[in-house]
């Protein structure tokens, strides 16, 4: 049984289809990267899994299960038993994701006592241990500090430690490094990869950075215009991309030594289509060199282990 | 839904304004004419009513409907004049503080703080008590006391507008400071100030009624709604309608102006 | 520093106010007084001295709480105020408590049910409250609760029941602002990233609303609540005279009608100082609630 299984997820905000066909399977102990440009629906997908979509969002899916538990019929109360306990999440904005009115220790301890019970003292001890584990010096001191007294990088480490309070099986990280300085980005990413390996977490990492994918991912799902267009193991995807969008994306990646100095990086011409109601078919067709009439109909994911949502792969 | 409030408020205000303007023509009686043989006649919905006095008569036999119509004049005139006085003071201070910043702004902030520390009703009462009650004095005192919100909003909006490109462009074009204040800043903060003006007008009308109720507002026999409530107070346990009628009129007018202000605020999109 | 400057300005204003109204000696001596009587009064109250000298002697004494003697009550002004203050403070606090108890739940409810009929209803109630003339509401309540139902005493200061109606009327004036502020603060807090985090942590709805959101939404409410209390104390003059509650407001009203200017001056000054103290207290309370203000 897969740790997380999402089949044919759709999310709509009023007239706009934010996600219109996301299929994602995360296995135990693997790092599954979801990659795509801003607005492709990758963050919305992760929020839909957590049940954290904004008011007014409409969600439907063929299947959405965590460890075999069907998430679709769950109400807020039932979901909240899983969230923070077996599924944890960290966000893009470390500066605003912690409550300014409470200490780091208090915010970390409450997630432990909420799900596992026990004393606050025990929860604080656990928090201190985890703060040390995510590479924060003087963790005992940090427990009593408020978020505004910490830097962005430190706050993201606190968020990570907080997510680990109850030994979750699945950690969803929504662009955890985007808002940070480049040097800090590398540190946080290394920390996530290391923790994932040590704790055997299933990690669903959302990013727009193919460099990140290459370094940490076991499997990759590429999203474009609200759809997962390709899924494969990292090695397979980089060696043998099938979807024209994935190929275009890889062509844009600067590889040292491969391109002569001064030459232009690749770009994908054209724009992302507006996903208004009634938009069907491949979202990439207006920018694709291989577009054909069949692209305007709904296209399934072709393949068994290496999946691609393209008529060329049929 | 939001727009509905705006229209209802506007309708109420227009209706009351019409009643006030047309009072001499539509009022069935002289609002000052006493008829001691016809005191506290009951209004139309009660038994034993006299069709000549639709809303009954007060303790001196004066026609209540006529007094109510003329009372709308008192409320509206005092409301409008107070807003003009307080608006001029508050907007001047606020724009100066917001535009020049620094020391000027410190002084303006100090004045606003001081003004807020002064208990409005008490000081207004004290002044009227010392000088003797008159409508002019009520307007002067309320105008001198109710400018704080104008100043606060004018100051913050001026600060926002000052930094915008077209103001910088006016500077660059060599426009003089007064010219920039009058032709670039003021027109652009006017919509926010209109919202404040409605809210302050409602407040001024309420305060005038309170002062008149305490006998230190407009002097009798002027038909102020607050005064009518004060005069009816002695009879309210037996003839409750003598305070219901002017009270509801006051409540509806203030509600209408507030609804209008709220609707305007939504249109402007400000937080005035 | 600012507080001191403001107090001084109010002091000056309070003094100037009473001297603007013409010859005080004549008004104190009364209409029947002869020229000699007026001269005697003038000397007795030191009104024959230069204005500036009068001012400084008044300020000097006011600074130590000595506001002179009341012309009408023939008693020390400070004693009069101290004697009446508990009534006004009780009334103000009762009003504030009622206002908070009503407006905070209403504001939270409106925020949680944003853009539903519940929200609109709450906003409508706030709107109606804002338009309600306090003195009129007081009279209507007297007729209803006092006369028709006979639940509450109509006027006076005897027992706690005497504070219920005036407290409710006073609360009415503060409810609209407090409700709106709670609503907008809660809407802002509930849309914030840290609430998303709290939900991602699987916290209970109670904890999310009351621990995480309300704590942050409460900051502006605390500031406005203290300001409103100041306004309520200042506005108690109307309510106290409606219900014949013998507090400071009633004292001020009596003094105004009797031209008893030392009392009026003193009450203006005391209320202004209380207002300033309240805003300072609110700043301190906010510093307690918001760790960012503690530096």
Query: Does the CB of B126 have a partner CB in chain C at under 8 Å?
Result: yes
Q: Is the pLDDT of residue A256 over 70?
A: no
Residue A101 and residue A92: Cα distance in Å, rounded?
20
Nearest alpha-carbon partner for C100 in C247, C246, C214: C214
Query: What is the signed CA dihedral for A230, A233, A235, A240, rounded to 10 degrees?
Result: -30
Nearest alpha-carbon partner for C223 in C190, C267, C174, C268: C174
Phi, psi of A284 (to 5 degrees): -95, -5
Long-range contacts of A148-155 (CB under 8 A, 24+ apart): A148/A100, A148/C291, A148/C292, A150/A104, A152/A94, A152/A95, A152/A179, A152/A180, A152/A181, A152/A184, A153/A94, A153/A180, A153/A181, A153/A184, A153/A187, A153/A188, A155/A94, A155/A95, A155/A97, A155/A98
DSSP code for A302: B
pLDDT given for residue A163 in this prediction: 92
Q: Kindly report which listed range (A74-88, A117-131, B165-179) carries the lowest average pLDDT score.
A: B165-179
pLDDT given for residue B234 in this prediction: 81
Question: Average pLDDT in the A178-201 region?
Answer: 87
pLDDT given for residue C20 in this prediction: 64
pLDDT given for residue C157 in this prediction: 67
CB contact under 8 A, C192 and A96: yes
CB contact under 8 A, A97 and C290: no
Token pair 């001029």 is at which residue?
B88
Question: Average pLDDT in the A6-19 region?
Answer: 88
Best A46, A47, A99 member to test C by mutation, with max C CBs in 10 Å, is A99
Residues of B85-105 as b/e, b for ≥16 C-beta within 10 angstroms? bbbebbbbbbbbbbbbeeeeb
Query: Does the CB of A255 have a partner CB in chain C at under 8 Å?
Result: no
pLDDT given for residue C183 in this prediction: 92
| Per-residue pLDDT tens digits for C139-165 | 888 888 877 777 777 766 667 777 888
Question: Average pLDDT in the B54-76 region?
Answer: 82
Q: Is A57 helix (H, G, I), strand (E, B) or coil?
A: strand
The chain A residue lying nearest C193, using CA atoms, is A97
Chain A residues in contact with C292 (beta carbon < 8 A): 100, 146, 148
Query: Does the CB of A178 have a partner CB in chain C at under 8 Å?
Result: no
Q: Is the pLDDT of residue B204 over 60?
A: yes
Query: Does the CB of B229 have a partner CB in chain C at under 8 Å?
Result: yes
Question: Average pLDDT in the B46-56 region?
Answer: 72
> Cα distance from B174 to chain C (closest Cα, Å)?
37
CATH (residue range B4-30+39-271): 1.10.3720.10
Query: Does the CB of C283 have a partner CB in chain B at under 8 Å?
Result: no
CB contact under 8 A, C238 and B118: no
pLDDT given for residue A219 in this prediction: 93
Residues of A274-301 as b/e, b for ≥16 C-beta within 10 angstroms? ebeeeeebbbbbebbeebeeebeeebeb
Q: Is the pLDDT of residue A32 over 90?
A: yes
Q: How far is CA A66 from CA A6, A23, A199, C2, in A?
A: 9, 14, 18, 60
CB contact under 8 A, A99 and C216: yes
Q: Kindly report which listed range (B153-162, B176-185, C134-143, C246-255) carries the lowest average pLDDT score.
A: B176-185
Chain C residues in contact with A57 (beta carbon < 8 A): none
- Give the dihedral sign, CA C61/C65/C66/C68: positive
Query: Does the CB of C281 have a partner CB in chain B at under 8 Å?
Result: no
Sorted by where each begins, the domain ranges of chain B are 4-30+39-271
CB contact under 8 A, C200 and A88: yes
The chain C residue lying nearest B2, using CA atoms, is C120
Residue C147 and residue C134: Cα distance in Å, rounded?
19
The chain B residue lying nearest C14, using CA atoms, is B123
Q: Is the pLDDT of residue B113 over 60?
A: yes
Query: C-side interface with A, Cβ within 8 Å?
Result: 192-194, 196-205, 207, 212, 215-216, 289-292
pLDDT given for residue C166 in this prediction: 87
The model carries a pTM of: 0.83
| Per-residue pLDDT tens digits for B224-260 | 888 888 888 888 777 778 888 888 999 999 999 999 9
Residue A71 and residue A90: Cα distance in Å, rounded?
20
Q: Which domains does chain A have, with CATH numbers?
A: 1-86+170-179+200-278 (3.40.50.300)
Name, of A14-23, A97-106, C65-74, the range with top average pLDDT. Answer: A97-106
Q: ipTM of the assembly?
A: 0.88
B touches C (3+ CB pairs < 8 Å)?
A: yes
Q: Is the pLDDT of residue B2 over 70?
A: no
pLDDT given for residue C199 in this prediction: 92
Name the C residues in 57-76 with CB < 8 Å from any B CB: none
Q: Is A12 helix (H, G, I), strand (E, B) or coil?
A: strand
Best A55, A74, A80 member to test C by mutation, with max C CBs in 10 Å, is A80
A touches C (3+ CB pairs < 8 Å)?
A: yes
CB contact under 8 A, C202 and A81: yes
CB contact under 8 A, A83 and C291: no
Task: Give me the half-sphere count of Cα atoms (radius 13 Å) on the Cβ side of residue C85.
Answer: 12
Q: Is the pLDDT of residue A251 over 70?
A: yes
Q: At CA A103, angle to CA C113 and CA C221, rounded to 5?
A: 40
pLDDT given for residue A203 in this prediction: 93
Regarding predicted confidence, which is higher, A176 or C3?
A: A176
The chain C residue lying nearest B125, using CA atoms, is C256
Chains in contact with B, where contact means 3 or more Cβ–Cβ distances below 8 Å, are: C
Name, of A262-266, B263-267, C31-35, the range with top average pLDDT. Answer: B263-267
Provide, rounded to the nearest whole percent, the portion of chain A with pLDDT above 70. 97
pLDDT given for residue C98 in this prediction: 92
Question: Average pLDDT in the B94-116 region?
Answer: 88
Write the DSSP string, C126-172. Answer: HHHHHH--HHHHHHHHIIIIIIIS--S-SS-SSSTHHHHHHHHHHHH
Phi, psi of A12 (to 5 degrees): -125, 140
Chain C residues in contact with B123 (beta carbon < 8 A): 17, 268
Sorted by where each begins, the domain ranges of chain C are 2-63, 81-293
| Number of Cβ within a 10 Å radius of residue C164 | 17
Best B122, B200, B203, B231 member to test C by mutation, with max C CBs in 10 Å, is B122
Q: Is the pLDDT of residue C28 over 70?
A: no
| Per-residue pLDDT tens digits for C255-284 | 888 877 778 888 888 888 888 888 888 888
Provide, rounded to the nearest whole percent, the portion of chain C with pLDDT above 70. 91
Cβ–Cβ under 8 Å, residues A284 and A228: no
Q: Is the pLDDT of residue C99 over 50?
A: yes
* 3-state secondary structure labels for all residues of A209-240: CHHHHHHHCCEEEEEECCEEEEEEEHHHHHHC
| Per-residue pLDDT tens digits for C198-213 | 999 999 989 999 999 9
| Per-residue pLDDT tens digits for C102-129 | 999 999 999 998 888 998 899 888 888 8
Name, of A175-179, B43-47, B52-56, the range with top average pLDDT. Answer: A175-179
Q: How far is CA A38 from CA A93, A107, B182, C84, C176, in A?
A: 15, 30, 45, 67, 42
Read off the pLDDT band of C236 (50, 70, 90).
Answer: confident
* 3-state secondary structure labels for all residues of C60-91: HHHHCCCCCECCCCCCEHHHHHHHHHHHHHHH
Cβ–Cβ under 8 Å, residues C259 and C70: no
pLDDT given for residue A259 in this prediction: 65
- Report the CATH superfamily, name and number, of domain C81-293: MetI-like (1.10.3720.10)
Which member of B122, B130, B215 has the closest CB to residue C237?
A: B122
Chain C residues in contact with A115 (beta carbon < 8 A): 202
Q: Burial of C152 by CB count in 10 Å (0-12 exposed, 13-18 middle, 19+ buried)?
A: middle
Phi, psi of A222 (to 5 degrees): -100, 130
CB contact under 8 A, A83 and C200: yes
Q: Is the pLDDT of residue B265 over 80?
A: yes
pLDDT given for residue B271 in this prediction: 46
pLDDT given for residue A131 in this prediction: 92
pLDDT given for residue B272 in this prediction: 41
> Cα distance from C216 to chain B (closest Cα, Å)?
20
Query: Does the CB of B88 have a partner CB in chain C at under 8 Å?
Result: no
Cβ–Cβ under 8 Å, residues A203 and A31: yes
Q: Is the pLDDT of residue A15 over 60?
A: yes
* 3-state secondary structure labels for all residues of chain B: CHHHHHHHHHHHHHHHHHHHHCHHHHCCCCCCCCCHHHCCCCCCCCCCCCCCCCCCECCCCCEHHHHHHHHHHHHHHHHHHHHHHHHHHHHHHHHHHHHHCHHHHHHHHHHHHHHHHCCHHHHHHHHHHHHCCCHHHHHHHHHHHCCHHHHHHHHHHHHHHHCCHHHHHHHHCCCCHHHHHHHHHHHHHHHHHHHHHHHHHHHHHHHHHHHHHCCCCCCCCCCCHHHHHHHHHHHCCCCCHHHHHHHHHHHHHHHHHHHHHHHHHHHHCCCC
Write the DSSP string, C100-130. Answer: HHHHHHHHHHHHHTTTSHHHHHHHHHHHHHH
Query: Please, what is the average pLDDT of chain A?
Result: 88
Query: Does the CB of C187 have a partner CB in chain B at under 8 Å?
Result: no
Q: Is A85 helix (H, G, I), strand (E, B) or coil?
A: coil
């Amino acid at each position: 049984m897969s740790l997380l299984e999402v089949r044919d997820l759709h999310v709509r905000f009023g007239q706009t289809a934010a996600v219109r066909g996301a299929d994602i399977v995360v296995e135990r102990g693997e790092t599954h990267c979801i990659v795509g440009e801003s607005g492709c629906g990758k963050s919305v997908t992760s929020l839909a899994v957590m049940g954290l979509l904004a008011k007014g969002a409409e969600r439907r899916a063929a299947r959405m299960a965590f460890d075999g538990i069907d998430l679709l019929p769950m109400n807020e109360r039932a979901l909240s038993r899983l969230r923070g306990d077996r599924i944890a999440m960290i966000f893009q904005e470390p500066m605003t994701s912690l409550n300014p009115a409470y200490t780091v220790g208090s915010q970390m301890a409450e997630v432990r006592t909420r799900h596992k019970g026990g004393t606050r003292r025990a929860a604080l001890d656990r928090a201190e241990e985890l703060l040390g584990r995510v590479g924060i010096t003087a963790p005992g001191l940090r427990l009593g500090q408020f978020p505004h007294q910490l830097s962005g990088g430190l706050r993201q480490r606190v968020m990570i430690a907080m997510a680990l309070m109850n030994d979750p099986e699945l950690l969803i990280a929504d662009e955890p490094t985007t808002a940070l300085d480049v040097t800090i980005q590398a540190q946080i990413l290394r920390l996530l990869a290391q923790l994932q390996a040590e704790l055997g977490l299933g990690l669903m990492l959302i990013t727009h950075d193919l460099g990140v994918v290459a370094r940490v991912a076991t499997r990759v799902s590429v999203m474009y215009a609200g759809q997962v267009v390709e899924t494969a193991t990292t090695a397979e995807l980089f060696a043998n991309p099938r979807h024209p969008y994935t190929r275009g994306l890889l062509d844009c990646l600067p590889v040292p030594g491969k391109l002569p100095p001064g030459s232009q990086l690749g770009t994908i011409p054209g724009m992302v289509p507006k996903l208004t109601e009634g938009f069907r078919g491949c979202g990439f067709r207006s920018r694709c060199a291989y577009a054909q009439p069949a692209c305007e109909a709904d296209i399934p994911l072709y393949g068994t282990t290496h999946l691609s949502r393209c008529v060329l792969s049929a | 839904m939001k727009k509905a409030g705006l229209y209802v408020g506007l309708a109420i205000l227009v209706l009351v304004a019409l009643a006030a303007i047309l009072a001499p023509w539509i009022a069935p009686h002289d609002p000052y004419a006493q008829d001691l043989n016809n005191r506290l006649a009951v209004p139309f919905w009660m038994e034993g009513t006299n069709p000549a006095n639709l809303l009954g008569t007060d303790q001196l036999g004066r026609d209540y409907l006529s007094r109510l119509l003329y009372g709308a004049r008192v409320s509206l005139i005092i409301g409008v004049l107070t807003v003009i006085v307080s608006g001029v003071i508050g907007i001047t201070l606020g724009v100066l503080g917001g535009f020049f910043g620094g020391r000027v702004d410190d002084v303006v902030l100090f004045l606003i703080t001081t003004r807020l520390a002064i208990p409005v009703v008490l000081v207004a009462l004290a002044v009227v008590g010392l000088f003797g009650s008159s409508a002019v004095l009520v307007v002067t005192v309320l105008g001198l006391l109710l400018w704080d919100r104008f100043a606060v909003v004018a100051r913050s909006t001026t600060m926002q507008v000052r930094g915008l490109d077209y103001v910088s462009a006016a500077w660059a074009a060599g426009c003089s400071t007064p010219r920039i204040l009058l032709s670039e800043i003021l027109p652009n903060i006017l919509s926010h100030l209109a919202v404040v003006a409605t809210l302050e007008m409602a407040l001024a009308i309420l305060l005038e009624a309170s002062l008149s109720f305490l006998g230190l507002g407009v002097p009798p026999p002027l038909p102020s709604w607050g005064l009518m409530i004060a005069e009816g107070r002695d009879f309210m346990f037996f003839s409750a309608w003598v305070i219901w009628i002017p009270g509801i009129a006051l409540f509806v007018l203030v509600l209408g102006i507030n609804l209008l202000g709220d609707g305007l605020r939504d249109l402007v999109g400000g937080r005035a | 520093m600012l507080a001191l400057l403001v107090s001084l300005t109010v002091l000056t204003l309070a003094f100037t106010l009473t001297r603007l109204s013409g010859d005080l000696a004549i008004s104190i001596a009364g209409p029947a007084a002869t020229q000699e009587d007026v001269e005697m009064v003038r000397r007795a109250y030191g009104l024959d001295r230069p204005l500036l000298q009068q001012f400084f002697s008044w300020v000097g004494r006011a600074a130590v709480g000595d506001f002179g003697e009341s012309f009408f009550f023939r008693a020390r002004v400070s004693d009069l105020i101290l004697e009446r203050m508990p009534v006004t403070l009780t009334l103000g606090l009762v009003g504030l408590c009622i206002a908070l108890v009503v407006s905070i739940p209403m504001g939270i409810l409106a925020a949680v049910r944003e853009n539903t009929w519940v929200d609109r209803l709450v906003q409508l109630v706030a709107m109606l409250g804002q338009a309600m003339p306090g003195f009129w509401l007081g009279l209507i309540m007297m007729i209803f609760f006092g006369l028709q139902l006979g639940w509450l005493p109509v006027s006076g200061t005897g027992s706690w029941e005497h504070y219920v109606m005036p407290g409710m009327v006073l609360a009415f004036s503060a409810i609209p602002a407090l409700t709106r502020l709670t609503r907008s603060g809660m809407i802002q807090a509930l849309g914030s990233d840290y609430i998303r985090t709290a939900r991602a942590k699987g916290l209970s709805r109670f904890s999310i609303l009351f621990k995480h959101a309300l704590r942050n939404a409460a900051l502006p409410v605390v500031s406005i609540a203290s300001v409103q209390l100041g306004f309520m104390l200042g506005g108690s003059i109307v309510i106290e005279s409606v219900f014949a509650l013998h507090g400071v407001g009633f004292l001020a009203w009596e003094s105004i009608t009797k031209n008893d200017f030392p009392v009026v001056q003193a009450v203006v000054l005391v209320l202004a100082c209380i207002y300033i103290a309240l805003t300072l207290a609110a700043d301190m309370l906010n510093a307690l609630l918001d760790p960012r203000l503690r530096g």
